[in-house]
Amino acid sequence: MTAHARTEIVVLGGGYAGLAAALRLAPQHRVTLVEPRERFVERVRLHQVAAGQAGAVHPYEKILAGTGIRHVTGRAARLDTAGGRVEVETNDGQHLDLGYDRLVYALGSRTKVPALVPATAGTGTTRVYSAETAADLATRMAGRSGKRNGRLAVVGGGLTGIEMATELGEAHPDCEIRLLTAGSLAATLSEPARRHLRSTLDRLGVRVQEDAPVEDPDEVDADAVLWSAAMTPTTGLAAEAGLALDEHGRVRVDAALRSVSHPEIVVAGDAGAGWRMACATAMPTGAHAAGTILQEARGAAAPPFRLKYVLVCMSLGRSDGLVQVLHTDDRPRDLVLTGRPAAWVKERIVSSTIGLLSYAARHPAALRTLLF
C-alpha cells in the first residue's frame, strides 16, 4: 500500500463503532459499510423502546448522505483473509464478493439468551425477550394495558437490566415486576450509587432478588421474561476466519487496535478485547481504528489507543437517573449525581451521541474529540 493512496475499506457493522470508523475514513478512502439494517438503532435507548416510547432509529440513507459511503444491506457470511475478500448475503437474496485493502471489524455484541424463541415481528408471540426484541415486548405490554396482575421478570442486575426494570416499572405501575440478579445489584457501582438504585426500585414497586442465578428462562415463574443477564461478542465470523480471540471470545488486538493475528484488520466496539462493552467505548474505538488506517496509509506509525473512563450514566425512568463518576481505570468513585439532574445529564449525553455522528457525516474531524 503506497502512502496517500485511496484504498478499499470494508466496515463490518453499522453500530456506534462501525459508523464512527466509516465516517472518519470516508473523506480519504473508498468505504463500504456492510450492515443488514436500513436504520441506525440507538441501542442505549432500547429500554425506552421496551416501554413503548417512539424514536431511537435513524435512516442510514439520511446519516450517510453526501459522505460517499456505500451501504450494502446484508450480512457478512464469510471472511477470506488470505484473499482480502468478504462474502455478503444481501437482504434481497444476492451474494456479493467484496474486496478490501483494510477491514474494520465492528460487529458488536448481542444479548446471550438461552433457548430464545424469536418473536414474530410485532406480535409479541414469545414469552422471552431481550433488548434486541424490545419493540415486541412493548407490543405485548401495550396489549395488556388496563389488566392487572401481569408479571414480568427482568433477569440481570447490571446496567441494562436496571434501566429496563425502572423504565418498565414507571410505564406500567400495575404490572408486577421483579429484577433477578445472580450476584449483587449493580456490583460495579459505588455504594452511594447502589443505595439510590435500591431506593428508586423500591419507589417504582420493582422487587429485587439478589443472589438468584437463573440458567434458563423456563425456570422463571412469570408471564414474560426480559433477559438482560449476559452479552456475547459477535465474533463467529472472526473465529471462522482464524482471527485470534481471547478467553471471552473477543478479538485480540494490539495497542493500535489491529488484530494480533491479522494486522490488516482493525477492530472496534464490543467485538474487540481490552475494554468494557458499551457505547462509551464503541465510538472512541471506532474513531481510533479509523485513525490507525489513516496513519498507516500515510506511511506513519499508528499511535496506541488510550481510553480514560469518566462517567457511567443510567436512566431510571423519565424523571430519575444516576451519574456515577469514575476513576480513569473504570473504578467507581463515591461521587454520584441522582434524580432529575442526573436524568437531564443522561439525556444530553445520549442525544449528543447521535448528534455527533450526524455532524461527523459533514465534518469527520469532529470524531477526534472522542480520543483522549
Query: Which pLDDT score is estimated for 148?
Result: 54
Query: pLDDT grade, residue 149 (50/70/90)?
Result: low
Average pLDDT on 93-110 reads 96
Task: Provide the greatest CA pair distance for the chain.
Answer: 68
Average pLDDT over residues 344-362: 91
pLDDT reading at 123 higher than 50: no
Q: Is the pLDDT of residue 144 over 70?
A: no
Mean pLDDT over each residue of the chain, to the nearest integer: 92
Is residue 371 predicted with pLDDT exceeding 90? no
Which of 290, 301, 341 is CA-nearest to residue 320?
A: 341
Q: By CB neighbour count within 10 A (0-12 exposed, 13-18 middle, 19+ buried), where does 362 fall?
A: exposed
The pLDDT of residue 120 is above 50: no
Q: Say which amino acid occupies 223.
A: D
Lowest mean pLDDT among 36-40, 98-102, 125-129, 280-284: 125-129
Per-residue pLDDT at 325: 97
pTM value is 0.92
Banded pLDDT at 2 (limits 50, 70, 90): very low
Mean pLDDT of 89-97: 95
* pLDDT surpassing 50 at residue 369: yes
Percent of the chain with pLDDT over 70: 93
pLDDT at residue number 142? 87
